[in-house]
Structure 1
């Protein structure tokens, strides 16, 4: 089905006119919803339409936790996997817990609670792990400046980037880079 202006308007206004007839998937989050879903309006270029609720699942999308487009509750395990997917794809942005909750289609407090109970760490801690791992890879495989690498992984404050890196790895980014084989 084609994303016409009239269908897009239904999604933008959260109308229930097409509920049960059309589902939309968001490519950037791999979540699919009913047109009436009250979650944040996605970028139109990231939207795929489906006329059968089984098709988005076959394409790797998971049902929205908020609107439950196939009238099934999404398990916490699947939701945590989706949160991890979002963290892996948005680590380089200013990703607050509020923004993460919007992208994962859940509330802030529920997201924090479920994530912590299933993983043993907070979403913020996981985000920092991802950022530091990406920074470590960039330090070993590029000649970008330390401040540029910090910025590339979503930590534009160079002092803070160095402080966190040293806390996790026990040495500064400069010292870490110096250890790489030539």
Structure 2
């Protein structure tokens, strides 16, 4: 499977949210306990300074961590999760490109109907809404950490039109990109 490209802060946000869609794409290792978990693990969240992230089980176990007994990150829980992970990795790599459902289906060798049904069964979202969330998360990160214009960010994260960018961003974050930038700049550093 292709490696995903998430920053430390983005992965941290996924474990705080308990986002099960990232299970198997990366693992959270806690230095103090020497245990690694899925991003969706329901165990108490560790301190940020005690966390390391790994992209595969061999790598994390080679570093001396053992699997969590609660979330069992070494066990596949669904026969289709591998396909869904492959689709998610593809979306994370290609989110800047114009992607249609047929492109994703061709990539994994499934019909569009079956892919959409399978993906929704595992993630409770369609590939399109999932892709929009990736783009919004990337845009939010850029809004908070760079001085690029909203328009530059819109196209950089793969939206085809500013109006769609604003509509999807507002629906996801409950504010406009400009309002989000102001809010993030006013937040005290943690």
Are 1:119 and 2:123 counterparts? yes
Larger Rg belongs to = 1
Are 1:93 and 2:97 counterparts? yes
What is the count of residue pairs matched by the alignment? 116
The 1:160/1:120 distance shift into structure 2, 3 A limit, reads: same
Secondary structure of the structure 2 residue equivalent to 1:180: helix
Task: Show structure 2 runs of 5+ residues with no match.
Answer: 5-57, 59-77
Give, in whole Å, the separation in 2 of the partners of 1:155 and 1:139.
15
Compute the displacement of 1:28 (Å). 8.3
Compute the displacement of 1:75 (Å). 3.1
The 1:174/1:27 distance shift into structure 2, 3 A limit, reads: closer
Q: CA RMSD in A?
A: 2.5
Compute the displacement of 1:177 (Å). 0.7
What is the TM-score when the length of structure 2 is the normalising length?
Answer: 0.55
The 1:172/1:81 distance shift into structure 2, 3 A limit, reads: same
The residue aligned with 2:172 is 168
The residue aligned with 2:160 is 156
CA contact (8 A) 1:112 1:122 kept: yes
